[in-house]
Structure 1
Amino acid sequence: MESADPRRPESRFDTFRDRLRQLYHGRSPTGLRFRLAVTIVDLLIIAFFIATPVLRDASTFLWIDYSVAVIVALEIAARFLASSNMLRLLRQPAVILDLFILVTLLAPQWLENFGFLRILRLWSLSQKGVIWAQLRRTPYRDWENVARALINILTFLFVVTGFVFTFFFREAGGLAGYVDALYFTVATVTTTGFGDITLPGTAGKLTSIIVMIVGISLFVKLAQALVRPNKVTFPCPECALQRHELDAVYCKACGHKLKIPDDSD
């Protein structure tokens, strides 16, 4: 049996996959610009998801919806081709979420009650390292924890607003119904409780309780990120503790000597 010739030129498909790997995982300026461009497109898609309840009755809604579906499908396919282990990538929560979002985009009329879950893509976007890698190169790198906590709160607010609009304010419809849902969500999360807009029935009361409990927890995390001393994210090689003081030499959990890179320049 003849062995494969290592000097055999790569096929066009292999060359294309190598190119995608460089764009998604490389550190070249071209790869960085590509990932930033993908991030901007993601933000525009998320803006469409947030505005979906208001745009649903527009004549062009389905055209926009299916166009976004094509973009999301191409981006997911590109990520799989750029991955060296597709099965491991498929098990990642962010990828599973993106696949679910794609299904809701392809069947918007049958799965419209689950459309509010599309906004979870904002959380998925926050898991991409390119955003935080760029933030760490700026004078605002110490605000990473605050930014992460803020994204979590915004994601929660818009997901809950979409849920409340879908199941409680759908009859009002349009912008007015969505604003009522957002107003209720913000008033409940902040425990302001004006009482002028409430959710009816037992389901409404249970929804309000869950929103208050989870919302308060997220606000506490944001407050902690604002007031606690700045720390650097660097996993300890011995015990994997993630957060350390900026000038830490030894891990406070296990005493292992750390070699935290100094990027103050």
Structure 2
Amino acid sequence: MTTASPRSDRDARDVVRFYLLDHRTPLGKAIDVALLGLNLLFVAVFVAETYSLPARVDATLRDLEAAIALVFLAEYVLRLYGARNRVAEFFNGYTLVDLLSILPTLAVLALPVPVAVNVGFLRALRVIRVLRFYRFTRDAEFFFGTVSDNALRTTKLLLTVLVLFFVSAGLFYSVEHRTNPGVATFGDAFYYTVVTLSTVGFGDITPATAAGRWVTVATILAGIIVIPWQAGKIVREWAHREKVNVTCPSCGLSHHDRDASHCKSCGHVIYQEFDSRG
């Protein structure tokens, strides 16, 4: 019986890691597009299941959810297999989100029916899968090409707002829909989240549980902290878009005016080529 050599195993892991991170080759692009589409579908199935649907449609959605969860489980295992440092990869924030988003579905599939019924409400945690979209914005290179730094920051800001809305609405729905008559669907929870974060506060939907109130508090705090932080990065970049990224050799100050000949901080001469034609 032959066994795989350490070298061949390392080569296989390098290939797996390459294609899970690659944005340029046809296979790498196909994997990117497929995972992006499955993420969107996984979240869409969760939203659809919160509405009253015919039994046949509901069963189809559950089967689809299970199939997608198994694909994500395979991806999760492959990411751990291909990682250079498996412990670091396991504790990576994106990887933990990947696991947490599919565990409730896998638990429902694996556990006996009476137990599965009791833990089924945890399937609402699938909505945290939207956090997975941040993995696609780690760098400026996408399957369709490379975007500018400003475009990437703007994308992250928009994604932050959408993620905050969806995760907050999903968590609020999961803790409120069993006891709160005003939260029958994900749409109700999403409406409440938008109204709350926009400080309109109509008062037609209010938390009925302690968990719902804590989710609301966490949502407001996250909105106050995270969104201005992301927006501040964009404003700072726009404010410096007319600057030249030249570092003073004397004091280390960077980003000088285009026509600067001396450092504004220490007065050291910094040569910059400047076109007098403007």
TM-score (normalizing by structure 1): 0.71
Q: Percentage identity across aligned positions? A: 22
The yes-or-no answer on 1:117 pairing with 2:129 is no
Is this contact kept in 2: 1:249–1:257, CA < 8 A? yes
Supply the AA of the counterpart residue of 1:255: G
Q: Which of residues 186, 207, 210 in structure 2 aligns to 1:178?
A: 186
The CA deviation string for residues 76-106 of structure 1, in whole angstroms up to 9 with x for no partner, is: 1221222222222112122122222232121
Is the aligned partner of 1:224 residue 2:232? yes
- Distance, in Å, in 2 between the alignment partners of 1:72 and 1:135 is 20
1:26–1:54 CA distance, 2 compared to 1 (3 A): same
- Number of the residue aligned with 2:246: 249
- Contact 2:128–2:167 (CA<8 Å) still a contact in 1? yes
User: For residue 61 of structure 2, what is the amino acid of its counterpart?
Assistant: F
Which one-letter code corresponds to 1:97 in the other structure? V
Q: Flag the 1:99–1:202 CA change in 2: closer, same or farther, 3 A.
A: closer
Q: 1:48: which partner in 2? A: 45
Query: Post-superposition shift, 1:180?
Result: 1.7
Matched residue type, 1:250 = T
Between Structure 1 and Structure 2, how many residues are aligned?
Answer: 239
- 1:67, distance to aligned residue in structure 2 (A): 0.5
TM-score by length of 2: 0.68
Distance 1:12 1:53, change over 3 A: farther
Q: Indicate the residue corresponding to 2:156 in structure 1.
A: 148
In structure 1, the residue matched to 2:20 is 24
The answer (yes or no) to whether the contact 1:136–1:142 under 8 Å persists in 2 is no
What CA distance in whole angstroms lies between the structure 2 residues aligned with 1:138 and 1:165?
37
User: Which secondary structure state, in structure 2, belongs to the residue aligned with residue 54 of structure 1?
Assistant: coil
When residues 169 and 89 of structure 1 are mapped into structure 2, their CA distance, relative to the original with a 3 A threshold, is same
Structure 1 residues 103-149: Cα deviation after superposition (integer angstroms, max 9, x where no partner): 21212344333333322222233134566323995565412222212
Q: Greater Rg, structure 1 or structure 2?
A: 2
The verdict on how the C-alpha distance between 1:11 and 1:148 changes in structure 2, with shifts beyond 3 A counting, is same
Q: Name 2:265's counterpart in structure 1.
A: none
Per-residue deviation at 1:192? 0.6
Structure 1 contact 36–130 (Cα < 8 Å) conserved: no
- The equivalent residue for 2:261 is none
Q: Which residue of 1 aligns with 2:208?
A: 200
Q: 1:228 to 1:83 in 2, by over 3 A?
A: same
- Deviation, structure 1 residue 75: 0.7
Could you report, residue by residue, the CA deviation over 1:54-85 in whole angstroms, capped at 9, with x for unpaired residues? 38981223312221121011111221222222
Please give the root-mean-square deviation of Cα atoms over the aligned residues, in Å.
3.9
What CA distance in whole angstroms lies between the structure 1 residues aligned with 2:139 and 2:46?
20
1:3 maps to what in 2?
none
SS of the residue aligned with 2:162?
helix
Is contact 1:184–1:197 with CA below 8 Å preserved after alignment? yes
TM superposition shift of 1:219: 3.7
CA distance in 2, matches of 1:127, 1:59: 31
**How far apart in 2 are the matches of 1:134 and 1:246?**
27
Over 3 Å counting, the alpha-carbon distance change for 1:98 and 1:25 in structure 2 is: closer
Find the aligned partners of 2:90 and 2:38 in 1 and give their Cα distance.
22
Could you tell me which amino acid in structure 2 is paired with residue 248 of structure 1? N
Segments of 5+ residues of structure 2 without an aligned counterpart are: 109-116, 256-278
Judging changes above 3 Å, is the alpha-carbon distance between structure 1 residues 246 and 196 closer, same or farther for their aligned structure 2 residues?
same
Q: For the structure 1 residues 34 and 211, does the alpha-carbon distance in structure 2 shift closer, same or farther, using more than 3 Å as the test?
A: same
